[in-house]
Structure formats: structure tokens, C-alpha cells
């Protein structure tokens, strides 16, 4: 409820940045069905996103990475742009957008 005090920031959010998210929902299904990513691996990957435009239509730009590789390299991933400085850490990249009432996803392996 809105009047309750919010819980503290989760450790992972503080360490990785609040814009780093678990892969869930339709993106999870897409990654399993279209890219054959094994569920045990997918649950350990993370995503960052930002608003963008693809072919003149609004879209959510997505980058997927392995937090273990990020930790090994010793960099901090705060948001989508953080991976722009370290493109070798991006495993998958693409976009999601609504087209004609359905979700259109296009994610490519890097």
C-alpha cells in the first residue's frame, strides 16, 4: 500500500543497477523457443532496456548479458548504455514492439 515504507533496495539492484532485470514473460518464452536457450542458463542471464524507435515505431530496445562475465571483467552495468562501452559482454540484442495488437520481438545473438 502506498503509505507503507518501502523495503530497502535489493542487494542485486544496488550492485548491478536498478535497470538490470531478470528475463521474464514473453521475452523468456521467445528466448527459449526462438534461440533454444536452456532454462537453467536463461535464469542466470539479465537484461537492460531503453525506449527507442524501429522503422518509425516506438520500441523497447533490449540487451541481454551474463552477470558472471560482467563481474569477471570488473565493470558495472547500470543501464542499456553501460553495455555500449563493453559490447563484448552483450550476448543478445534487439527490440520488442507492439504491432497490430501483437508483440513483435526481434532479438539476435551477438
Domain presence at residue 23? yes
Domain presence at residue 35? yes
Enclosing domain of residue 25:
16-109
pLDDT, tens digit only, all 110 positions of the chain: 343 444 443 444 334 457 899 999 999 999 999 999 999 999 999 999 999 999 899 999 999 999 999 999 999 898 999 898 899 999 999 999 988 778 889 999 99
Query: What b-and-e string marks burial along 51-88, b requiring 16 or more CB atoms within 10 Å of the CB?
Result: eeebeeeebbbbbbbebeebeeeeeebeebebbeeeee
Domain presence at residue 57? yes
Domain count, the chain: 1
Domain presence at residue 64? yes
Q: What's the whole-model pTM score? A: 0.81
Domain presence at residue 1? no
87, 63 contact by CB (below 8 A): no
Domain presence at residue 8? no
94, 105 contact by CB (below 8 A): yes
Sheet with 46-54, side-by-side order of all strands: 21-22, 46-54, 57-65, 90-99, 102-109
Domain presence at residue 20? yes
Amino acid at each position: 500500500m502506498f503509505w507503507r515504507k518501502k523495503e530497502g533496495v535489493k542487494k542485486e539492484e544496488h550492485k548491478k543497477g536498478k535497470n538490470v532485470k531478470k528475463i521474464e514473460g514473453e521475452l523468456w518464452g521467445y528466448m527459449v523457443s526462438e534461440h533454444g536457450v536452456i532454462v537453467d542458463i536463461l535464469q542466470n542471464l539479465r537484461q537492460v532496456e531503453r525506449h527507442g524507435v524501429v522503422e518509425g515505431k516506438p520500441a523497447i530496445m533490449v540487451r541481454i548479458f551474463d552477470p558472471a562475465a560482467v563481474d569477471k571483467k570488473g565493470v558495472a552495468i547500470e543501464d542499456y548504455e553501460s553495455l555500449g562501452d563493453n559490447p563484448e559482454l552483450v550476448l543478445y540484442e534487439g527490440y520488442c514492439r507492439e504491432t497490430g495488437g501483437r508483440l513483435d520481438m526481434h532479438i539476435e545473438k551477438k
